[in-house]
Amino acid sequence: MTHVPIPRPGPARAVLAAGAAAALALGPAVPATALPTEPRVYSVRGQYTGVAEHGHAVTMRGETYTTTSTFNVDLEGDQLLTTYCIDFRTGIVADSWYREDRWDTYPGEGDFAEPGRVHWILLNSYPVTGIRDLRGATGIAGVDEAEALTATQAAIWHFSNGLELEEVHQGPNLGGKVVESNVVRLYEHLVENAEDLPHEPGSALTVSPDRDSGLAGETVGGFTVETSAEDVPVTVDAPEGVELVDVATGEPVTGVDDGDTVGFAVPADTGAGEASFTLEAEATVQTGRLFKGEDSNAPTQTLITAQDSEIAVSETASVAWDEEGGTPPPVESTEEPALAAAPAPDDRSLPLTGGAVTALVVAGMAALGGGAVLVSLARRRRAAGEGGTAG
């Protein structure tokens, strides 16, 4: 947190919400009305826009054939996130809007019981780990990007949905030929070595809560900052004499870091009013951050970030107060309501997107013609000693 000598604020610059402005117009004897409230949400928001990179196809035990891929989430501001799926049994809805959130808000089918192991897989496989480094770390000399993506997604589903890889198929959107043993060996390596990382990645930038209230003569608000950036500058909009301070020390601040808590010091002789502060930063959406669909009425597959992404992000928090001896303006909870769980689909809809439905048709036709590439995990294990991997 950045501290500065106590300055003398300039002219009042209060930003009034419509309801509060109407109340204040009646005169200082009338307490400020409740601030408008909205469900608490995280800053980073984006829209699913299609496949980022195709992998091959798989059959998970007890499930039906599905393609694998990474997905693009297009953030507001022309920035892209690359994500994997952590919700095998919920289909992805075209053009869905997503919002970052915590692991414990996971709304999909299945428990997502081992997110720490999923996080380890993401940090130790493709694309965070480049293909050359991945070959060196695993000893799978011939594995390529598409095979690594396939194995990584299957290993994620193992821990996010409790599924086992059973068969590997040639990807309908890819040329060449899949080397099934490369996929299986990498899948087994990831599943067997995955560690339960104890901490999930934090938000790029979040202020919690985003509004509060109190009385003149005290520090109003206790806003805790969560961010992957450092020394985030603060822009304050407040009446003369009202300052944004470090709650622990009472010192005015112009910048904040992860874990800092700030509030507005309101002098005792101040009338009812409002103030706000804004944070703007270049921050990182970290690998392993969960993104869930915004529309609970149209459940869509839950996604998780596949690598770090640098983005521009901002957050604003505000307070309202009554004069000393009055009544603090009411503020409703800003916690985001739980997203309704997706109903279990009768057809066990799979995480298919774009040309994946066509892929099923292509795969079916190829299978009828004897050209489908199928390899079972059991067969691979029986043949484990028969030779090395292809390049």
Of the pLDDT bands very low, low, confident and very high (cuts 50, 70, 90), residue 333 is low
**96 has pLDDT over 80:** yes
Closest CA to 172 of 348, 361, 391: 361
242 and 126 in one domain?
no
In a domain, 306, yes or no: no
Domain assignment present for residue 265? The answer is yes
With a cut of 80, say whether residue 328 has pLDDT above it.
Answer: yes
More confident residue, 5 or 161: 161
Q: Which of 320, 308, 332 is nearest to 272 (CA)?
A: 320
Specify the CATH number for the domain of residue 222: 2.60.40
58-73 per-position pLDDT tens digit:
999 999 999 999 999 9
Instruction: Give percent above pLDDT 70 in the chain.
Output: 74
Q: pLDDT tens digits for 200-247? A: 999 999 999 999 999 999 999 999 999 999 999 999 999 999 999 999
Alpha-carbon distance of 35 to 43, in angstroms, equals: 20
pLDDT at 385 over 70: no
Q: What integer is the mean pLDDT of 164-173?
A: 97
Report yes or no: 206 and 42 within 8 Å, Cβ to Cβ.
Answer: yes
Tokens encoding 156: 């994620």
> Is residue 328 domain-resident?
no
Instruction: Report strand pairing: 261-265 vs 97-101.
Output: unpaired
229 and 270, same domain (yes or no) = yes
The total number of structural domains in the chain stands at 2
71 and 188 inside one domain: yes
**64 near 7, Cβ under 8 Å?**
no
As a whole number, the mean pLDDT across the chain is 80
Same domain, 159 and 193: yes
Written as one letter, the residue type at 348 is: R
pLDDT at 353 over 80: no
CA nearest neighbour of 336 among 34, 17, 42, 35: 42
Domain interval for residue 355: 45-199+349-386
pLDDT at 381 over 70: no
Task: Taking residues 157-172, report their average pLDDT.
Answer: 96
Tens of pLDDT, residue by residue over 174-210, are 988 999 999 999 999 999 999 999 999 999 999 999 9
Query: Are 252 and 369 found together in one domain?
Result: no
The reply to whether 60 and 15 lie within a common domain is no
C-beta separation of 318 from 220 below 8 A:
no
> What pLDDT is recorded for position 360?
38
Do 380 and 240 share a structural domain?
A: no
Question: Is 148 contained in some domain?
Answer: yes
Q: Does residue 115 lie within any of the structural domains?
A: yes
Look at residue 216 and tell me if it is in a domain. yes
Q: What is the DSSP letter of 250?
A: -
- 188 and 71 share one domain: yes
Is 70 exceeded by the pLDDT of residue 370? no
Distance from C-alpha of 231 to C-alpha of 255, rounded to nearest angstrom? 5
309 pLDDT exceeds 80?
yes
217 and 149 within one domain = no
60/157 same-domain check: yes
Residue 364 has pLDDT above 70, yes or no: no
Q: For residue 211, what are the contacts with CB-CB under 8 A and spacing of at least 6? A: 35, 37, 317, 318, 319, 320, 331, 334
Cα separation, 127 vs 144, in Å, equals 11
Q: Which residue has the higher pLDDT, 378 or 171?
A: 171
pLDDT of residue 41: 60
User: What confidence score (pLDDT) does residue 176 get?
Assistant: 86
Cα–Cα distance measured from residue 118 to residue 242, given in angstroms and rounded to the nearest whole number = 46
Q: For residue range 7-64, what is the model confidence (pLDDT) as tens digits?
A: 333 333 333 333 333 333 333 333 344 444 444 467 799 999 999 999 999 999 999 9
